[in-house]
Amino acid sequence: MRCLIVISRQVCILVLVIGILGMKHLDGSKMKSYVFQIPSHEISIQLPIAESADFPKIAIHRVVDTSKIAAWDSGNSILIADKYFDYRSGALGATAGTLSVKVRLRKSPEEYALDLRNIENLQQLIAKQLHDSFDKLDEVAAKNASSTRAVRLPKEFQQVITRGAVGFKYELGGAYDYVAYIFPISSSTYVQVQFNFIDNSHGKSSHWRKIAGQDMDAYAQSISIK
């Protein structure tokens, strides 16, 4: 009887260890290169083949026709690609979190006449759009007597150089957890590659965010714009 109790404890300990350390992350060797054609440029990024089954698969715009007005949404953007990748943990392999990767072509508003090929002009535009978008959320947080901002806006923009593109990145925190990479394309257009971290750990111990962040760094470095 004592032997059975010892074995039972060992099994419990084993299950606990698996729950803490058994994070299953994406196999970097199983990658796919996605190539998108826009006027005068070719964009590519390497992402995993295995996609999440919990999110709808949206058709990729491999050739983007910017001349069609209907192609642009109300936010002056065209969604080129939208992919989701799960991170599982625990003995049962539950989804601890999901990394979303969205590739968009964006254009500046008509009233913004500055050349976006100048990085400072592009950063100025992004900063204004972020404040305009999230100030309303901050107002709601203030009315609810929240001690923290609904969204933590970036304190700075960081220059990035990938294998085939030069741009910058910024990070949001709080209610939104994402990192966006920005690359100028023309005087009025730019590419945005946005990585969203969707937490599903329900407060349980999990390392999925750290691993997903490391994967994001690798995917971002694969971005090429020719």
Whether residue 8 lies inside any domain: the answer is: no
Signed CA dihedral, 127, 132, 136, 139: sign only: positive
Report whether 33 contacts 42 (CB < 8 A).
no
Whether residue 132 lies inside any domain: the answer is: yes
Residue 200: pLDDT band with limits 50, 70, 90: confident
Task: Give the residue-averaged pLDDT of 138-164.
Answer: 75
Give per-residue pLDDT as tens, 15-63.
Answer: 333 333 344 445 455 899 999 999 889 999 999 999 999 998 888 889 9
64-73, 125-134, 169-178: least confidently modelled range: 64-73
Whether residue 35 lies inside any domain: the answer is: yes
With 80 as the cut, is the pLDDT of residue 3 above it?
no
Residue 90: pLDDT band with limits 50, 70, 90: low
Question: Domain containing 78: what range?
Answer: 24-225
72-81, 91-100, 143-152: least confidently modelled range: 143-152
Exposure string for 108-144, b = 16+ CB within 10 A, e = fewer: beeeeeeebeeeebbbebbeebbeeebeeebeebeee
Count of structural domains within the chain: 1
Residue 6: pLDDT band with limits 50, 70, 90: very low
Element containing residue 123 per DSSP (H, E): helix 119-143
Whether residue 217 lies inside any domain: the answer is: yes
Whether residue 115 lies inside any domain: the answer is: yes
Residue 220: predicted pLDDT: 96
SS3 142: helix
Residue 101: pLDDT band with limits 50, 70, 90: very high
Residue 13: predicted pLDDT: 34
Whether residue 218 lies inside any domain: the answer is: yes
Whether residue 6 lies inside any domain: the answer is: no
What's the full length of the chain, in residues?
226
Signed CA dihedral, 15, 16, 17, 23: sign only: positive
Residue 132: predicted pLDDT: 86
Give per-residue pLDDT as tens, 123-141.
Answer: 999 999 998 887 766 666 5
Whether residue 58 lies inside any domain: the answer is: yes
Q: At 48, which CATH number?
A: 3.40.1000.10
Give per-residue pLDDT as tens, 43-54.
Answer: 999 999 999 999
Instruction: Calculate the alpha carbon distances from 100 to 21, 103, 173, 213 in Å.
Output: 23, 10, 15, 11
Residue 162: predicted pLDDT: 92
Percent of the chain with pLDDT over 90: 52
Report whether 31 contacts 48 (CB < 8 A).
yes
